[in-house]
Amino acid sequence: METGENFKQSDPIHLPRIEPYLPNGTDPDAAKSLVALYRSYCTSLVECIRYCKEKAFFHLFTSFQGTLTMPVQKLFANPAISPWIEECDFILYQRMMRIVSGLTLQVVPKPVLDTLRNISERLVPHIRESFQGQPLHVVRAKEGPATIFAGLLDRALRVNLTAHAAANMLSNPANRDLMYMEWISMINVRKLAESIPSRGMDDVVNLLLNEMRDLLNPVNVPWEMECLTVQGEIAMRNGRPPREGSGDDSDSSNVLDHWVLLLRSLPNRFPYASDTDLVWCVQRLSTALMRDLTIGQGKSFGSWWVTKCWVDEMIQFMAEQGGFMQQKSSQDPLAVPKRQSANRELSHQGSRYSSGSDDFGLSRMPEPQPDRAPFPSAPPANSQQQTTHDDSGIGIRTPDEELPGEKFSLTPATTQDLFAGTELQDDLGDI
């Protein structure tokens, strides 16, 4: 999962070495020219994203081929070079995503949002049109990374949109007070944690009991009411009773930052869970919370719902971005980091459910979509098992078993209706 480390936007783009991809007998000067031209092309595209130049961004795709001399063009179209092109484009779009990801929680002007949305929608069709004269392997090498980036860019825009709505709700102290009061009075944290596999239940309960008050930061919640709840007992046990009227952190950006820090800390808090597991469990917990609030007729339902929408989009974006930033090819499966595979067996042992898909596993998740960055994934369990086709006929239900005659026995009433229908047909035949 992407941790959001800092980087300098002025740092040059380092492309992979082209030498391992060069076919035999390649002119060294043509190879050097191709690397220099492609580096300039990638740098210009990044600058267009950085300064929000939509027309120049799309123009670079059509003008790039005009900068290639005949020897360089021949090398660019060679099938051996297409993996190098794809890897360069992954580096290009990863740099762009580092720039765009910093805008997810900021107030972005509408022209900037419109530009990013146009790039998300038009990027892949524009590449197909611009490189239609190139061989198919070149188009595919250009199209694969662009498709994933376009889907991830759309996800970032969804995060930005829901973040504004969540900030408006959470920046109001009255909303946070009501959300917290109904959290401690209506929500049974242990029952809520039962919606996820038992391997992580205790850790989830401890996290929710100890972190939710700091996340919501209520300003005016009567201590006489809170001390009667589990949250109050934990506060007294820790020797830090809540301070009423502490509204210093009511700024909306600070409120969202607290939630983001918590989401980014989940991989360390749950080292036995993969990124896919974390996304699924966060979304499942938030859904279970909304069900309990609905049943309890909670007045803070709207505030919780807006917050849930943003949290669900944010955790999905963070996981997809983390997978995308590690990717070098759209064809090869992503390697599994040690954190996700080390305790995979332990996560299966603690599963609460056995409905065909193991909890804390990947089998429940849908297949990766072409416009979506893949999560780091593990090979499917029981991959050696092969189903053999049995054409012996054993086990096929006979007509007598499938359609027993008792279902169609005639009663006097049905017999009369049957003959009545026959007479009607005879009458119609005489007409």
pLDDT digits 0-9 by tens, 367-380: 445 455 555 444 44
Coil, helix or strand at residue 311: helix
Q: What is the pLDDT of residue 233?
A: 72
358: left (phi over 0), alpha (psi -120 to 50) or beta: beta
Across residues 56-78, what is the average pLDDT? 94
Residue 258 and residue 287 in one domain: yes
Q: Which of 134, 167, 200 is the last residue of a domain?
A: 167
Across residues 354-363, what is the average pLDDT? 37
Higher pLDDT, 221 or 430: 221
Q: Give yes or no for a contact between 21 and 137, defined as CB atoms under 8 angstroms apart.
A: no
Position 77 confidence tier, pLDDT thresholds 50, 70, 90: very high
Residue 359 falls within a domain, yes or no? no
- Polymer length of the chain: 431
CA distance linking residue 346 with residue 200, whole number of Å:
11
Q: What is the pLDDT of residue 374?
A: 55
Count of domains forming the chain:
2
Q: Give yes or no for a contact between 361 and 348, defined as CB atoms under 8 angstroms apart.
A: yes
Q: Which of 167, 197, 221 is the last residue of a domain?
A: 167
Position 348 confidence tier, pLDDT thresholds 50, 70, 90: very low
Residue 233 and residue 313 in one domain: yes
What is the span of the domain harbouring residue 154?
19-167
Across residues 297-301, what is the average pLDDT? 94
Residue 205 falls within a domain, yes or no? yes
Residue 208 and residue 340 in one domain: yes
CA distance linking residue 279 with residue 377, whole number of Å:
13
Helix intervals (H) in 326-430: 338-341, 344-349, 399-402, 412-430
Q: Give yes or no for a contact between 173 and 250, defined as CB atoms under 8 angstroms apart.
A: yes
Whether the predicted pLDDT of 390 surpasses 80: no
Q: What is the pLDDT of residue 332?
A: 54
| Cβ-proximal residues to 237 (8 Å cutoff; 6+ apart), any chain | none
Residue 158 falls within a domain, yes or no? yes
Q: Which of 147, 167, 187 is the last residue of a domain?
A: 167
Q: What is the pLDDT of residue 337?
A: 43
The mean predicted confidence, pLDDT, of the chain is: 79
Q: What is the pLDDT of residue 198?
A: 86
State CA 40 to chain mean position distance: 32
Q: Give yes or no for a contact between 80 and 23, defined as CB atoms under 8 angstroms apart.
A: yes
The neighbouring-strand residues paired with 358 are: 354
DSSP state of 337: P
CA distance linking residue 348 with residue 380, whole number of Å:
13
Residues 229-279 pLDDT 10s? 777 677 667 665 555 444 444 444 578 999 999 999 999 999 999 999 999
Across residues 309-336, what is the average pLDDT? 84
Residues 54-63 pLDDT 10s? 999 999 999 9
Q: What is the pLDDT of residue 254?
A: 73
Q: Give yes or no for a contact between 310 and 155, defined as CB atoms under 8 angstroms apart.
A: no
How many helices (H) does the chain have, and how many strands (E)? 18, 0
